[in-house]
Amino acid sequence: MRVYLDNAATTAIDEQVLQEMMVVMRDDYGNPSSIHADGRKVRTIIEKARKKVAALLNTSPAEIFFTSGGTEADNTAIRRGILDHQLSHAISSPLEHHAVLHTLQELEKEGSIKLTLLDVDAKGHVDLSQLERVLQNSPPSFVSLMHANNEIGTITDIQRVSDICQTYNALFHTDTVQTMGHFVHDLSALKVSFLAGAAHKFHGPKGAGFLYVNHEVKIKPFIHGGAQERNMRGGTENVYGIVGLAKALEIAYEHMAEHRAYIQGLKDYMRAQLIQHIPGVSFNGELEADQSLYTVLNVSFPPTDLADMLLFNLDIAGISASGGSACSSGSNIGSHVLTAIGVDAKRPSVRFSFSKFNTKEEIDFVVSKLKEVCPENV
């Protein structure tokens, strides 16, 4: 038996998504930039996908730009937002995905900005009162805060962040890669400058993402070349990926309530089983359902000098999950997120992340294997 509990890294593609992509891949191979009938047909397919994504997010198709994924979307928003608007200050948190954190740090090294990282508490909540204080005493700034953390699942109130940023005339970029397709995003109500998403986090294909750019915010292209994406992203479009992204998001929105209830049930069940069967287990991040990503459970196991072996042992036992040791030993850098919230480096931490395809039987199997391989029982 093989159990996949690494859905925060990537999800299995939905069969309906695959079938829709296959039709386009087989029949509609024209270049969307070509002016002949084959090209025009494919251009229409892309624009239909754009309209579908925009409708689901309650925004204009003109504000949706397709990318190669979340990393490109984040990089585009950050670099172009800061440089094109001549901003000298950026605010973020130490818990951001490296697509955000490393980009901001690189801009600081280049001398383009001063970077302020906000304080976080032991559960991974960002100090939004500090955000307001910093903005009060700063020049116009660029703020980048993710909706939900990819490692510990803690949710940031991006509506409150948006309100604060509007008050102080700051550009606000949010990485919603982990929550897109799992939570409703209404971009007519949520006033953000930029928002990033990636299809493979909600059962779409890898290599396809999008960037929402508020129509009031003007930026230059990040990737130069042709006139694709309304002159905003050079390069022939990933047509099949775009089609798959739109279909996956449509399915996610159609079944969101039932999938959320089901996956939250799996998360709660696994947490209860771990408490019952693994002495000394603890959990990282926020656990309150309304403040936590229901697809992610970050678990710390009893202290051991063999922390790096737990993931290896799980893999051998047939379980796919992700690491998150706060320590840096040997060639292992460890998790910057767990380090920032003060997780004990001696406690091996594992991120289990769930999808609609997981079952309680799989959870039982994982817990039974953990009883065999966790440090307390080695």
Q: CA nearest 300: which of 289, 287, 315? A: 287
Of 5, 327, 341, 343, catalytic: 327
Cα dihedral value 171, 177, 183, 188, nearest 10? 30
- Specify whether the CB–CB gap between 334 and 325 falls below 8 A: yes
- In sequence order, the 6+-apart residues with CB closer than 8 A to the CB of 6 are 320, 321, 322, 351, 353
The Cα–Cα gap between 21 and 146 comes to 29
Establish whether 165 is a catalytic residue. Answer: no
Tell me which H or E stretch contains 46.
helix 37-56
Can you read off the two tokens belonging to residue 309?
Answer: 């072996």
Q: CA nearest 355: which of 19, 17, 18, 3? A: 3
Query: Hey, CA dihedral for 27, 20, 231, 102, is it positive or negative?
Result: negative
Axis-axis angle for helices 309-316, 360-373 (nearest 10)? 130
The Cβ of residue 48 has, within 10 Å, a number of other Cβ atoms equal to 14
Q: How many degrees, rounded to 5, is the angle at CA 221 between CA 217 and CA 225?
A: 160
The Cβ of residue 232 has, within 10 Å, a number of other Cβ atoms equal to 19
Backbone angles phi, psi at 37, to 5 degrees: -60, -40
Based on C-alpha coordinates, what's the Rg of the chain? 21
CB-based burial label for 63 (10 Å; 0-12, 13-18, 19+): buried
Q: CA nearest 221: which of 212, 237, 211, 232? A: 232
Active site residues: 327
